[in-house]
């Protein structure tokens, strides 16, 4: 017999079992680490434009990282 998508049963994970974006691959940790370096460089006098060029990010993205807290 042919299966239809309506034949499949999916059970969503419980809220406390759900992983945030990047948790399984470690991407979140890498981005957080990069962002800390960007903030530190900015505090040490590196301009937003220089950081944007160095990290291939927009000026808007760099500002979001710097002013996130």
Q: Tens of pLDDT along 24-42? A: 778 899 999 999 999 999 9
How many Cβ atoms from other residues are within 10 Å of residue 62's Cβ?
Answer: 24
- Write down the pLDDT at residue 9: 72
Across the chain, how many H-helices and E-strands are there?
A: 3, 0
Given a cut of 50, the residues of the chain with pLDDT beneath it are none
- Write down the pLDDT at residue 55: 98
Contact assessment for residue 48 and residue 59, using Cβ atoms and an 8 Å cutoff: yes
- Nearest alpha carbon to residue 35 among 6, 14, 7, 63: 63
- Write down the pLDDT at residue 26: 80
Average pLDDT, the chain: 86
Distance CA 22, CA 33 (A): 13
């Amino acid at each position: 017999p042919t299966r239809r998508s309506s034949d499949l049963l999916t059970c969503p994970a419980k809220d406390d079992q759900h992983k945030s974006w990047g948790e399984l691959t470690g991407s979140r940790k890498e981005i957080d680490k990069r962002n800390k370096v960007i903030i530190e460089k900015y505090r040490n006098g590196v301009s937003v434009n220089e950081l944007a060029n160095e990290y291939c990010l927009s000026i808007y993205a760099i500002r979001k990282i710097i002013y996130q807290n």
